[in-house]
Amino acid sequence: MAAETVLIADDEREIADLLEVYLRNENYTVRKFYNPPDALACMEKEPVSLAILDVMMPEIDGFTLCQKIRQKHLFPIIMLTAKTGDMDKIQGLTLGADDYIAKPFNPLEVVARVKTQLRRYKQYNTNSAVQATEVTEYDAKGLYICPPSHKCTLNGEVLPLTPFEFNILWYLCKNHGRVVSAEELFETLWGEKFFESSNNTVMAHIARIRETMNELPRKPKYIKTIWGVGYTIE
């Protein structure tokens, strides 16, 4: 089986070099770049399984790089940053990042996050979860989603969702008519214990899905927010 490829884009050479060592020790193929343009060029030439992006980089910052990647690729993205503010984290998640790690960090934690994201990515691209339930598609008000074919369209147009966004939308659709709490979404889909800050992560992903669906922020047609309770698709 071919080794999974992790791309690192970080202008702090010591950090990039350190991550490369730890990831290679876990048998990942590593493509390391100190500037975003070279990282983007690599993605055009060879497949990447996951990207680790520093937020503060010259020429192209990590947020912009994340946005450019999401225009063509669905693989997981982990953001690295010296900033710890919630707004910075929400910005990264809204642009399509899957995880966010503040500097300084333990490189073993980064390796663990890489493994988690790759495991989830594989899980969301298999039919195993679908086979456990009788509901295999949702089709209402112009929205169609079907996990077996991994197809999601809105009024006949394909929705460019990441695998994780697809899974969030599917979870809400298969539970349509029921309000799903942020805690339930987080603990079911992220597989981690819910904390107060976890709500921002859920909100950021919901916001990105709504943006992809061209939903009006104050009058969403599909994903409704029930304040203080959770989210629902009626």
- The predicted-structure confidence for 154-191, as pLDDT tens digits, reads as follows 999 999 888 888 989 999 998 888 899 999 988 888 87
Provide the pLDDT for residue 87: 64
Q: What DSSP assignment string belongs to 218-230?
A: SS-SSEEEETTTE
* Residue 104, pLDDT above cutoff 60: yes
* Residue 90, pLDDT above cutoff 80: no
Name the pLDDT band for 51 (thresholds 50, 70, 90): very high
* Residue 118, pLDDT above cutoff 50: yes
Instruction: Answer for the pair 67, 80: CB distance below 8 angstroms, yes or no.
Output: no
Name the pLDDT band for 42 (thresholds 50, 70, 90): very high
- The predicted-structure confidence for 137-154, as pLDDT tens digits, reads as follows 888 889 999 887 888 999
Q: What DSSP assignment string belongs to 121-145?
A: HHHTTSSHHHHTSS---EEETTEEE
Average pLDDT for the chain: 85
Reference 15, options 84, 85, 61, 81; nearest CA is: 81
Q: Is the pTM of this model over 0.85?
A: no
Provide the pLDDT for residue 231: 92
